[in-house]
């Protein structure tokens, strides 16, 4: 993708994030997205087949950054997020939430939060399955693997909700420690 195409794609994603923080995904039109992104309709469709494809790619961009950590060396990502964190993958996510990268807090507080958290949880389950050794081995040996993975993912999602509702008074390191204790 050349620089001009990359800038157009980023403008479309940014415009969509802004709109998602203001209204439900079903209320957003392609016309609103292209107007806010200041691109033509043909440019939009050159990048995204439909608004649903845009949503899917946005969610993948937002969350694959975190989930790619388990397979990459280091944390210098080339996604919507830019970082060089050397913390655990779970603390890494809390750090992004605290920085409010790409208005992710507005998205998680919006009418669309169930959609985002459901998608996030699915990716999170894969990450947890790959890093299951980080968690209580005694519990893991007594429970079916898929149940335990789902439980950990659910606890993490609820920890995020609680932390955001608590106005993120705890540091990412503190909330990560609480999460590990809880599971």
- Contact between 93 and 163 under an 8 Å Cβ cutoff? The reply is no
- Domains of the chain, by residue range, sit at 3-182
Q: Which CATH number fits domain 3-182: 1.10.150.120, 1.10.10.10, 3.40.50.720, 1.10.357.10?
A: 1.10.357.10
In terms of Cα–Cα distance, which of 104, 98, 44, 105 is closest to 80? 104
pTM (2 decimals)?
Answer: 0.73
Summarize pLDDT for 100-142 with one digit per residue, the tens: 766 677 677 667 777 777 888 888 898 888 888 888 888 888 9
The structure tokens 């790409």 sit at: 102
Question: At 73, is the pLDDT very low, low, confident or very high (cuts 50, 70, 90)?
Answer: very low
Identify the pLDDT of residue 80. Answer: 41
- Contact between 182 and 155 under an 8 Å Cβ cutoff? The reply is yes
């Amino acid at each position: 993708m050349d620089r001009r195409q990359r800038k157009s794609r980023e403008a479309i994603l940014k415009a969509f994030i802004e709109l998602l923080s203001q209204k439900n995904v079903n209320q957003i039109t392609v016309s609103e997205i292209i107007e806010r992104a200041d691109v033509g309709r043909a440019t939009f469709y050159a990048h995204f087949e439909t608004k649903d494809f845009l949503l899917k790619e946005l969610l993948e961009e937002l969350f694959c950054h975190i989930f790619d950590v388990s397979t990459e060396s280091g944390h210098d990502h080339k996604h919507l997020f830019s970082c060089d964190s050397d913390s655990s993958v779970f603390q890494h996510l809390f750090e992004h939430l605290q920085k409010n990268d790409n208005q992710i807090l507005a998205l998680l507080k919006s009418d669309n939060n169930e959609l985002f958290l459901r998608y996030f949880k699915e990716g999170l389950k894969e990450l947890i399955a790959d890093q299951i050794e980080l968690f209580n081995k005694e519990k893991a040996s007594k429970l079916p693997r898929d149940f335990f993975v789902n439980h950990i993912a659910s606890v993490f999602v609820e920890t995020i909700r609680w932390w955001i509702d608590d106005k993120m008074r705890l540091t990412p390191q503190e909330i990560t420690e609480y999460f590990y204790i809880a599971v």
